[in-house]
Amino acid sequence: MFEASQRLGRLRVAASMAGLLASVACTPPRVLVVGLDGANWQVMEPLIEAGHLPTIGSIVTSGARFDLDCAPAYPLAACFCPPVWTSIATGRPFSDHRIGGFYTPSYARGVKALWNVLHDYGGRSTLIGYRGTWPPEGDADLVITEPATQVAGGELYAAFPVSVHPGASMSLTHTRPLGLLEDLGLLPSSVPESERLPAWLPFAEDRVSMQALLRIEARRAGERSRARVPDLTMILLHAIDRSEHMMWGSIQSEQWAPIDVEGLLDQADLYTGPAFSPPPIGWSRVPAQYQEADEWLAELLAVTSYDYVVFVSDHGMTRGEPGALPGAHGFDSPESHLGILSITGSGIVANQHLGEASVLDVAPTVAHLLGLPIGRDLPGRVLSESFGDSPLFYLSAREVASWE
The one-letter amino acid code at 193 reads: E
137 located within any domain: yes
What value does the mean pLDDT take over residues 359-386?
Answer: 96
- Among 382, 320, 376, which residue's Cα sits nearest to residue 347? 382
> Residue 287 domain-assigned?
yes
Neighbours of 330 (CB within 10 A): 15
Kindly tell me if the per-residue pLDDT of 209 is higher than 50: yes
Rounded distance between C-alpha atoms, residue 179 and residue 187, angstroms: 9
Query: Is the pLDDT reported for residue 354 higher than 50?
Result: yes
Residue 154 counted as domain residue:
yes
Residue 301 neighbours by CB distance under 10 Å = 23
Please tell me the chain's helix, strand, coil percentages from 3-state DSSP, rounded to the nearest 5. 45, 15, 40
| Cα gap 225→124, rounded to integer Å | 14
Q: Residue 142 above 80 pLDDT?
A: yes
The kind and range of the H/E element at 269 are helix 261-269
97-120 mean pLDDT? 97
CA distance 170 to 173: 6
Which residues, in sequence order, are bridge partners of residue 276? none
Show Cβ contacts of residue 193 under 8 Å, excluding neighbours closer than 6 positions.
158
Q: Please tell me the number of Cα atoms within 13 Å of 170 on its side-chain side.
A: 12
Direct distance between the N- and C-terminal alpha carbons of the chain, in angstroms, rounded to an integer: 45
* 230-263 b/e (C-beta count within 10 Å ≥ 16 → b): bbbbbbbbbbbbbbbbbbbebbbeeeeeebebee
* Nearest to 229, CA basis, from 239, 220, 238: 220
Q: How far apart are CA 367 and CA 356, in angstroms?
A: 19
- What domain range is 288 assigned to? 2-399
For residue 313, pLDDT over 90 is answered with yes
Q: Is residue 404 part of a domain?
A: no
**Band of pLDDT at residue 34, cut at 50, 70 and 90:** very high
Q: What percent of the chain has pLDDT over 90?
A: 79
pLDDT band for position 23 (cuts 50, 70, 90): very low
**Mean pLDDT of the chain, nearest integer:** 91
Q: pLDDT band at residue 224, thresholds of 50, 70 and 90? A: low
Question: Using one digit for the tens of pLDDT, what is the confidence trace for 320-333?
Answer: 988 899 999 988 88
Which residues is 243 bridged to in the sheet? none
H/E element, 25: helix 2-25
Q: How far apart are CA 287 and CA 289, in angstroms?
A: 6
CATH at 260: 3.40.720.10
Q: Among 362, 276, 303, 386, which Cα is nearest to 85's?
A: 362
Domain count across the chain:
1
Q: What is the mean pLDDT of residues 104-127?
A: 97
Q: How many other CB atoms sit within 10 Å of the CB of residue 28? A: 21
Residues 377-396 have a mean pLDDT of 88
pLDDT band (50, 70, 90) for residue 26: low
Does 116 map to a domain?
A: yes
Prior bond to 177 cis, omega within 30?
yes
Residue 52 lies in a domain: yes
DSSP string, 89-141: HHS--HHHH---STT--GGG--S--HHHHHHHTT--EEEES-TT--SPPTTSS
pLDDT over 60 at 116, yes or no: yes
